[in-house]
Amino acid sequence: MPASQDELFAFLESLGIETTTVTHPPLYTVEESQALRGAIDGLHSKNLFLKDKKGALFLVVAEENAAIDLKRLHERIGASGRVSFGSAELMQSLLGVLPGSVTPFGVINDQPARLTVVLDEALATAGAVNFHPLVNTATTTIAAADLLAFLRATGHEPLLLSFSQAAASPDL
């Protein structure tokens, strides 16, 4: 059974991590979530559940406006060939979330760790960052340093990449 939202919050609390959560109507896309800007402070993200041709799994967590070139991303994350989106079934079995609810908090369910978390440096170095707490009817604000602590506590040492530099540099 995947962790519930309450179990996620209890785990965060056990780590001494403070969060704030706002409930809202279901949000499925970055565009829909942008309607909440101003009501929820901090950086927001887009989250991509990906797999490579050999079945390696990746969760790319990037600032919502980051340009991600899926045709060349494999070169930056160490994937075997180009990446594609993982199936909804695989996402649900591994992260315990449905499409539209993809979140780095889902790694609480990836035990032992099977996927690689690729985290945008813009998020890793921000003050506050925001993600769905396993459901897309809420947004949880967490300090970036605490997100890193959470990821590490679940056995997921993130691969830090700068997507903004990649977007500005044609040779990456």
Domains of the chain: 5-33+42-166 (3.90.960.10)
CB 46 within 8 A of CB 28: no
Question: Percent of the chain at pLDDT above 90?
Answer: 74
Handedness of CA 88, 134, 124, 23 (dihedral sign): positive
Burial (CB count within 10 angstroms: exposed 0-12, middle 13-18, buried 19+), residue 82: middle
Dihedral of CA 142/33/135/45: which sign?
Answer: negative
- The residues that bridge with 142 in the sheet, in sequence order, are 19, 129
Specify the pLDDT at position 28: 63
| Residue 64 to residue 51: CA distance in whole angstroms | 20
Rounded distance between C-alpha atoms, residue 102 and residue 70, angstroms: 17
Q: What is the pLDDT of residues 101-133, one digit of tens each?
A: 999 999 999 999 999 999 999 999 999 999 999
- What is the distance between the alpha carbons of residues 124 and 114, in angstroms, rounded to a whole number? 21
Tokens of 67: 């340009």
The predicted-structure confidence for 30-77, as pLDDT tens digits, reads as follows 666 666 656 678 898 999 999 999 999 999 999 988 989 999 999 999
Here the tokens at position 34 are: 């942008």
Give the predicted TM-score (pTM) of the model.
Answer: 0.89
